[in-house]
Amino acid sequence: GQNIDQPTEMTATEGAIVQINCTYQTSGFNGLFWYQQHAGEAPTFLSYNVLDGLEEKGRFSSFLSRSKGYSYLLLKELQMKDSASYLCAVRGGDGGFKTIFGAGTRLFVKA
C-alpha cells in the first residue's frame, strides 16, 4: 500500500533548529512537497524536491533521498510564528494527478 509517515508532534525552542522527518512508500514518484498549515487555515506550499539532495530556501531547507524513501524539512532560527503543522506529500506515478499526504507534524515553538 501507499503510506507516508511523519512524527505527530515536535517541540523546539525559539532560535533553535528543528528537523522534521518523513518516510514514504508510494507507487511511483513524481516529487515530494512540504506544506505549512497554521491552525484553521489552508496549507501553503513550502518546498518541492524531485532529485536527491538538499534544497535551501531562506530559513527552510528540504532534503530528499529517493532510494531510502526519506525526506526531511529543516527549519533554522525558529520563530514563534513557525508554530504550525507541517505536511509531507508525495505526488504519485499515476500521471502525476494524485498527491498523497502524510498526517502532518504539529510543531510547537516555545520561548
Partner 1 sequence: DVKVTQSSRYLVKRTGEKVFLECVQDMDHENMFWYRQDPGLGLRLIYFSYDVKMKEKGDIPEGYSVSREKKERFSLILESASTNQTSMYLCASRGGAGGAETQYFGPGTRLLVL
Where along the sequence are the contacts to partner 1 (CB under 8 A)?
4, 8, 30-31, 33, 40-45, 48, 50, 87, 89, 95-99, 101-104
Cell of 64: 530528499
Residue 43 or residue 69: which is nearer to partner 1 going by CB?
Answer: 43
Cβ–Cβ < 8 Å for 78, 16: yes
Residue 40 or residue 58: which is nearer to partner 1 going by CB?
Answer: 40
* Rounded least distance, CB 13 to partner 1, Å: 26
What is the distance between the alpha carbons of residues 73 and 61, in angstroms, rounded to a whole number?
6
Q: Cβ atoms within 10 A of the Cβ of 54, count?
A: 11
Cell of 58: 531562506
Max distance between CA atoms of the chain, in angstroms, equals 45
Phi, psi (5° rounding) for residue 14? -50, 135
Residue 9 or residue 77: which is nearer to partner 1 going by CB?
Answer: 9
3-state secondary structure of 80: helix
* Rounded least distance, CB 108 to partner 1, Å: 16
Residue 13 or residue 25: which is nearer to partner 1 going by CB?
Answer: 25
* Rounded least distance, CB 89 to partner 1, Å: 8
* Rounded least distance, CB 14 to partner 1, Å: 26
